[in-house]
Structure 1
Amino acid sequence: MRIVISDLDGTLLDHDTYAWSEAEQALELLKRKGIPLILCTSKTAAETDEWRQQMGLPHPYVVENGGAVIIPPGQLGTQGGGREMILGTPYPDLVAALRAASVESGCRVEGFADWSVERIAEICEMPVERAALAKQRQYDEPFILRDASRERQLIQAIGAQGYRTTRGGRFHHILGENDKAAAVRRLLELYQAQTGPVETIGLGDGLNDVEFLKMVDHPVLIRSPRVETLRAAVPAGQVTAKSGPAGWNEAILGLFADRS
């Protein structure tokens, strides 16, 4: 069985416009072949659920940088209301830890907990309705630095409290022991228990994608300003010629054309 695991922002969604129409041909190909597409994102469950419904994806998905795995009803043997596997640290604990680390390090930060829905919409260049979904955070706090010269001290202070940081396309993130790779591993174990061995294709464009890209059979690095850093971290990764959903479409069509 083959499974595709994909980041959203800057990968399946355009970094600036959030459009995904350039990936429609490849999405339809996966549907025709019955290949599960697992969204693996820093977005909230509320945001991701909206995107997967728009794209017509019934499959499980990973949210908030591995904070939770959501298994919809009817997938992997679930019934009723489906299943949520919580892997992350509660959001209030992350916000408190970030604020404490900011004071200790002298590095000023601002995060989603500090911003109104309107401010998030402005920073992320998205409609207010979608920003309201983005603010429904449970396991991950995105933030920006107001004093980048003290970034190292901030990260050290966060680590001293037992928390971790990662970097997406727009924001730094503070999280617990979870990450995308750990969540993907748990989900693949469920698929393997039900279907036997699986062959995995992973697509991403950010530093927070590195660990899960290193564990898949066929990693794809979507072209972006960070692609050389990703290439150094994932040497086996195939680099797309195009960026965003056009690169995603290019990669999927190429991979599955080779197998048809």
Structure 2
Amino acid sequence: MSNGIFGSLSGAYLAAAKNTFYYILVAPWLLKPIVLVIAIYYAMALVGVACIFAVFIALDWLAMLTDSIRGYFLRLMEHQSEAIENSLLAFLFRPLLLMVITPFFLLAVFIPKFSSSNALTHLATNELSDMLSGAGAFKKINQIIWKAANNLFVYVVKAPLVLKPIAALVAIFYSIVLICVGAAFFVLIPIDWLSRLISNIRYGIVRFANRQQDSIRHSMFSFLFAPILLIILAPLFLLLILLPKFTTDVDIEV
């Protein structure tokens, strides 16, 4: 099964259905017949919800493909930025390649993601801090472009004395263009914050569902009410998860 949000939620609801029957083993003997009937009804409803989430697993696969494409362009842009200072040809052409790649990355970023990676692998200790840090694709691109502008002048320092005046003029021109591009990405950084907020909502939903399904087998109260809570909240979970996400959390998904 997919390791995305929908696959994880479908698995959590199936586990909840299984745990309703597990509770029968630990229930008092006098209550076992009643518990069995309740477990059957709960399990049927929970499996039904699990099947609904399973229908959307294709969005998990699409999200992984989207992240792979975004990650590829990010790595490609970072490589161009770092290589600028290596040689004259790199100094002349890597900035141009960087600017050519940028529109393709933007196209990949604005493909909306309706799923995310598995929440169970992303137990951030301070999610609000992570969100406000803007640790997303637009901030990463901004850093790559500023580094490229800096590396232009690193090459000027390393260039042969005869080439320094021409190299300096080229570096100034390229850096002005790069700074303008970087400024455009800087304006888009709030979308990174929104992206992280959406990710945290998705991860929180999966963690909540897993806590509830695990609690079912531990007490009569959880057996009676956790499945009802999961079933009632399922439409809200689906609505919140389907909020589109237009950027990528670089530190966790690329």
**TM-score in terms of structure 1 length:** 0.26
More helix by share: 2
* Higher radius of gyration, 1 or 2: 2
More strand by share: 1
Higher RCO (CA 8 Å, separation ≥ 6 residues): 2
**TM-score in terms of structure 2 length:** 0.26
